[in-house]
Structure 1
């Protein structure tokens, strides 16, 4: 794979201006609370708890099924769209698939895909340091959601200016989402999920609204777990010298995103998981389907021999599948 010259130039310029940050690193800092975010997160979570109560006591089964489907679609809008396609360019997508992923990404509402990509590219370049937007060195709560409740660290602001976003700014689908973020995200994430149950099967507006917020908050925490739990608890079969880990529970919740030690070693692999791991990787199955019909193409993968060699050289000795077993057990079962 040929190197991206523009990206290498950005990295060189960056390294010339700033001191090197080595993970895990977190200098003392004073937190400045963003009260608007504190209020909106507080309201969303209290409403979600009420939505959970209503789901268990009053909601129609059609509503529960509907919001589960929305949960899956919005999750894939992040994992297959903002993450694997637009952040890492791990595969290419034709315009119809890009539009579908943009709408699914809007359904998830984790800012626009443009904002998401910038934060995530910064996260990979400076993982688990003060230039990482959700630096896991500061603990579970900060990396999970606390980073969204305070002002960005100065290192994030400074170094974020050097992240190459030229491909994102040139993408007409993402430019459209960014330009019309309020109506598009408002419609996809809040209005339609509330009005569809009311109109089509007579759900009450109160139940529909609070269950819409429940679905939204659950989606947020599914993604947040990749930033927090998958940097704190698990195994490191590919590189024991970095912070990210393999966390099978997170992969189950986040549709394949919890094989994080592997992902930080090979971020360009469209599967984000060793040897596929499709039994926990609905996102990979989604991409494979669209590859089958020709809407996704140029899927990047890492040869199995390279994966095994890296694991043997720098891994912690746990099973390549991230299940915490020893290599000998895995090799005998192959």
Structure 2
């Protein structure tokens, strides 16, 4: 379930929407497949809405404006027509770089059949064939996985804009949320992210200090030569911004709490890393060979 989430966090969000790092063709194809399995709109549309969200955050031009309440920011925005300001302001956001990527273009052209294959057919097949479940149980489990991943992602737009602390900029709505951080494998550092959206980690601290599996995955890809030009914010710039717009005392407490969690987060991350590789290899061998 969380591996599929990488298609949104490491793919549509950090790679394509914000260009926080660059990826080779094999990694882009892999992330595109995971993103397709998440069924949260194709990469082009997801990135378009997200860039508009950042540029006009919590205004009528924001697709999921949190000032309209939790439900609207969470999922209500998908049940109604977009506000006219979203359509007008959205035209001012550049998307040429995303449209120029052939991987994105391929996914967009064949998005519907690809989602049927990667979102429902393959997960259902794996559950049936390798875990002995009947077809209906396997299909319902696939649907549950899909619904869980949807609500986890939507919490970034709702809970992370309404509940939590704001150590980096007290003037904006996005906040740091531990719950969202865990459910979205690293996207809960939302106050930091809105202040420094170009940081590939979406957090001031590394995955060895706090549980951020998406950053761990990108770092692993960088070690393998699949990801490069990872962008990170200068600590002096962060400190300067905290002193200017944030809460210095709160930020110190916030960082101290994370520094103390080095051991358990490192262990959890390494366990996850040791599991994801062999499980992935076994499934690939069983399905394709």
TM-score tier (shorter): 0.7 to 0.9
Match of 2:239 in 1: 308
Residue 159 (structure 2) aligned to one of 229, 232, 235: 229
Match of 2:122 in 1: 192
Q: How far did 1:195 drift?
A: 1.7
Q: How far did 1:318 drift?
A: 4.8
Q: How far did 1:314 drift?
A: 1.2
3-state SS of paired residue (1:258): coil
Distance in 2 separating the partners of 1:216 and 1:195:
15
Q: How far did 1:320 drift?
A: 3.0
Match of 1:285 in 2: 216
Distance in 2 separating the partners of 1:326 and 1:109:
34
3-state SS of paired residue (2:81): coil
Match of 1:274 in 2: 204
What pairs with 1:1-334 in structure 2 (closer than 5 Å)?
Answer: 71-278=1-208, 279-320=210-251, 325=253
TM-score w.r.t. the length of structure 2 is: 0.86
**Could you say which structure has the larger radius of gyration?**
1
Q: How far did 1:114 drift?
A: 0.8
Distance in 2 separating the partners of 1:320 and 1:127:
23
Q: How far did 1:326 drift?
A: 6.9
Match of 2:276 in 1: none
Distance in 2 separating the partners of 1:156 and 1:76:
27
Distance in 1 separating the partners of 2:247 and 2:148:
32
- Taking structure 1 as reference, are residues 164 and 195 closer, same or farther at Cα in structure 2, changes over 3 Å only? same
Q: How far did 1:302 drift?
A: 0.3
Cα deviations across residues 103-158 of structure 1 (Å, max 9, x unaligned)? 00011010101110000000000000010000000111100001011111111111
Match of 1:61 in 2: none
Distance in 2 separating the partners of 1:155 and 1:145:
19
Q: Residue 53 of structure 2 contacts residue 63 of structure 2 at CA under 8 Å; is this kept in 1?
A: yes
Q: How far did 1:161 drift?
A: 1.8
Cα deviations across residues 183-239 of structure 1 (Å, max 9, x unaligned)? 111100011111222233331011001110000000001100000011001111111
CA-atom RMSD in angstroms:
1.7
Q: Residue 235 of structure 1 contacts residue 316 of structure 1 at CA under 8 Å; is this kept in 2?
A: no
Q: How far did 1:311 drift?
A: 1.2
Distance in 2 separating the partners of 1:310 and 1:197:
48
TM-score w.r.t. the length of structure 1 is: 0.74
